[in-house]
Structure 1
Amino acid sequence: MGAEVVVEGLTKSFGRQTIWRDVTLTLPPGEVSVMLGPSGTGKSVFLKSMIGLLKPDRGKCVINGVDIVSCSERKLYDVRKLFGVLFQDGALFGSMNLFDNVAFPLREHTRKSETEIRQIVLEKMEMVGLTGAERKLPGEISGGMRKRAGLARALVLDPEIILCDEPDSGLDPVRTAYLSQLLIDLNAQIDATILIVTHNINLARTVPDNLGMLFRRELVMFGPREVLLTSDEPVVEQFLNGRRIGPIGMSEEKDTATMAAEQRLADAGHHDGSTEDVRGVVPQLQPTPGLPERQGVRRRKDRVMSILHTLPPAAQEGIIESLTPAEQQRYGVHPHMMATVPAGHRPSPTPRSNVGSERIQGDLADIPQSQWQPPQQGPGGGA
């Protein structure tokens, strides 16, 4: 199984500009997670901080008992061998053919013979659909093929953790669908812990076991997909639906006057940018027939059902309806069961906090009735 990643109070800034602060989350081992957020919220910075390419200001990132924020360079070098990273543009060496690009980590970090290296490289290239392209240069192939070559290189050391920075950027919807299926199949085969940064809403709704979102220098939410896909958190709803109406603006931080003007236009019938309401738990991608069942799915659903009673009734109902009949029987639930429970006897939802009540600099719009607790601001943390 892949390694668990425990992040506690991680904060990163460049000079006086705080990118994000007090980020705390746990990537469950062997599960696929996605980090969402508007452009410029520091998602790629978060990935680079996880592998020690950037040094956070404070906090912890613990992998197999090692805090990569405070460990020695030698220890960090060893921990990095647990990672496979797919960068946004593939990050291939332009002067090397695809075979040598994929073989590079093996030649750099192992003492394997060229015969062994060839066997591993060809296996990984076949896994991502690049058989026959070994001698091509990065400049001779499409963007999608470069992404797949970058993924093959990320896999050659059999990593326990795979980080994918916008794997769908520059790809058409069909290639994105193939890449999404490939990531699910990889998880089924090697049970690695996977974290994906993306703006692709379809990928975010159908691929991961867990979803998180960064906004206004904070981690708004992170948890099982069922919880976020049924959330009534305004910023999450706006982002998942691709609407202009909501707290997110063109410059991320929208003031109240702009929000009011946009709402008046929407009330008057002006289109707000969304074509459909994507709320609800849609089916998750399954491994290709013939591959093993993903063990992370069962672990995640067990986790969701253990906290079901803390969620709002509408979210509970949506989650129950998303289960198969066999799963409903296993967990002792059935559709519409919330309708049969008197209102006074329903379990209380998660305590809510008025996160937006404290105005951020510039009279920015509130985030009303947020379901998350704001992290405590540490010394020197800017807003």
Structure 2
Amino acid sequence: MLIDLHAHAVHPDFYDQDPFWGPQFAVKNNGDFSLKVGHWILTLGQPERRAAVEAGTALSLEEHWKMVRDSRNRLKSMDAAGQDAQVLSIPSHCYMYWTPADFSTRFAKRCNEVLGTYCADSDNRLFYWAHAPLNVPEACPEIIRHAVKEYGAVGLSAGGANFGGLEFDSPELDTVWETMCDLDLPIFVHGYNQSVTWGEKANDDRYETTAIVGMNYDETQCFWNLICGGVLDRFPDLKVYITHAGGFVPYQLGRLDECNKNLEVRHNKHDLMHYMKNFWFDPEIHALPMRQAMCELIGADQLVYGTNFGGSDAIRFDMTADLRMSDEDKDKIRYLNALKLFHKEESDIGRCSSPAVDAMAVPL
């Protein structure tokens, strides 16, 4: 069995929710898609779309949305990639932590309704991470609980930093972490491009640095703030999955540990390594030697499978296939750890209808 916990869903029914904030898709003169959120315009494209445009086979935006609305098309792409199930999340440009409270709250409710409905008719192969307006902490518990109870969300999706000025260690967010501990469900941490918060200067980020490099930085901030801020002492049962191979955490773990011990302003009661049991990471690294080292350092018990399915840098091969580890440990990464986090059995998950045939299949 293979469960992909890092799979984005770009669904038309939560776009165009505001004349300014959008998010708004359009077709550029060259046939590629453009995306606008407030002042920010995406310049990181999809290779599949560009190839289709060059070949003259690209769908119109209306045709594309029609395909996306039908979850059977996504299941076909999952079959082609050999994936039994996915846990979907909204793209990070949709977090909307930088927007007014009334819109970000309304938008979060809309996203949960859309994804919950989309996943419901998938033979137990599609699940999703709830979205909540973390810039409005007081609204989050009710929204999260509703998403879990009414729409079957299996956890909460969150950025890595800057929730309208709040951070993971901000006391205002304790109500969110308390809710997640009460539900005993994990948080999926995925950084977002901070340039979207820069107002009229949003497009000064010439090479999408706040996305390509910044997401990893923000994900590392999440780890650092949760520990140094004493959040995991207040909420020792909090479960946090950081994607993109943990940001920079695994590669600087020793330095983080040593620096934390010498940090005068830290609030954590234990050494940094004590809190590793609260974190899960995925081996989403393209180079095998780095992926192998990361898995050996973190250990199979704290790893899950996430490919960035649908993203421009998605992993398009089985990340566990060439790892030097036992089949039992590979299965922990591929699905067993996910089942434990979500309190599910193998029988609760639908299966791929056919063997993988094309790892380059266009994701939806």
Between Structure 1 and Structure 2, the one with more strand by share is 1
Q: Which structure has more RCO (C-alpha within 8 Å, separation ≥ 6)?
A: 2
Higher alpha-carbon Rg: 1
Same fold (TM over 0.5): no
Between Structure 1 and Structure 2, the one with more helix by share is 2
Question: TM-score under structure 2 normalisation?
Answer: 0.29
